[in-house]
Amino acid sequence: MNIEETSELVLQFQKRGGILPVAVQEYSTGQILMLASVNQEALEYSVKFRIAAFYSTSRKKLWVKGESSGNQLRVEKILIDCDQDALVYQVTILGGGVCHTFNKEGNNRKACFYRSLDFDEMKLQFLEK
Amino acid sequence: MNIEETSELVLQFQKRGGILPVAVQEYSTGQILMLASVNQEALEYSVKFRIAAFYSTSRKKLWVKGESSGNQLRVEKILIDCDQDALVYQVTILGGGVCHTFNKEGNNRKACFYRSLDFDEMKLQFLEK
């Protein structure tokens, strides 16, 4: 089967030890909130409940985002790449921010990508005002 | 050092065997074009030349995107996540599309994410008209 041109879902989990990368993108704005990993179980959970779930590479188990914090993500769309070995979750933030870190107001930061690289200094700049 | 709140660049390459995931996002639109990997060499190339370079996990070497096809990506910004183990390249497409596959017009598809998952059928739908 030509996995690039088919409408069959044949995710290539076996290529990468059962785990594929996923970019989590806010559906309404296009902002990238975080990068994570999924296995078959996490994908099935996300499809069934429309709540973003991942595979925690540190805890080595299913990670339903926001299960303890309440900061869940509603899955609006899932995109699959040409090689069927990478995904995008397009989501709506249901609770507070996605990141476990906090901004100056004491709220979870919206996205994990809150710093950009200063090419001249090779230092990080905080994007928040 | 608290890597989450510092402006020091201390990418955690050692956490993941020298390779970190990167989401490649079109700077002007926010569209996610592809997911890839970077090592130290690829990041340094991308910063020095402002042309997106990756680490090819299949060929196990530096992959300067578009070096042979001409479909290069100009690096506008690089974002780093809280844990300093994931990146976003925000880019401008200099040549044709990013993907190695072709659309019906015979051009490289703009993004590798040209299919979405139909949750009811568990099949892929082509996003292109």
Amino acid at residue number A109:
R
| Alpha-carbon span A97 to A111, nearest angstrom | 6
Residue B29 lies in a domain: yes
Q: What is the pLDDT along chain B (129 residues), one digit of tens a residue?
A: 899 999 999 999 999 999 999 999 999 999 999 999 999 999 999 999 999 999 999 999 999 999 988 999 999 999 999 999 999 999 999 999 999 999 999 999 999 999 999 999 999 999 987
Is the entire prediction scored with pTM above 0.90?
A: yes
Q: Which residue of B has its CA nearest to A25?
A: B32
In a domain, B3, yes or no: no
Report CB contact under 8 Å: B35, A23: yes
Q: Nearest-CA neighbor of A40 among A59, A64, A67, A12?
A: A12
**Domain membership flag for residue B85:** yes
3-state class (DSSP) for residue A65: coil
Q: Is ipTM strictly over 0.90?
A: yes
CB contact under 8 Å between B80 and A125, yes or no, is no
Nearest CB neighbour to B112, from listed A32, A81, A116:
A81
Rounded to a whole number, what is the distance in Å from the CA of A30 to chain B's nearest CA? 5
Instruction: Please answer yes or no on whether B23 and A5 come within 8 Å at the CB atom.
Output: no
Instruction: With beta carbons less than 8 A apart as the criterion, state whether B112 and A82 touch.
Output: yes
Does any domain span residue B84?
A: yes
Paired strand residues for A74? A51, A92
Q: How far is A75 from chain B (nearest CA, A)?
A: 11
Tally the domains of chain B: 1
Report yes or no: A61 and A81 within 8 Å, Cβ to Cβ: no
Determine, yes or no, domain membership for B6.
no
What's the CA gap between A71 and B13, in Å, rounded? 28
- The answer to whether A94 and A88 have CB atoms below 8 angstroms apart is no
The strand pairing partners of B25, in sequence order, are B32, B90
Best mutation target, B82, B99, B104, to test chain A (most A CBs within 10 A): B82
Beta strands B32-38; B123-126: pairing state: unpaired
Is A3 within a domain? no
Q: What is the extent of the structural domain holding B92?
A: 13-96+103-126
Examine residue A41 and state whether it is found in any structural domain, yes or no.
yes
CATH number, domain containing residue B71: 3.10.20.810
Asked whether residue B2 is assigned to any structural domain, the reply reads no
A55 touches A38 (CB < 8 A) = yes
For A60-97, write each residue's pLDDT tens digit: 999 999 998 899 999 999 999 999 999 999 999 999 99
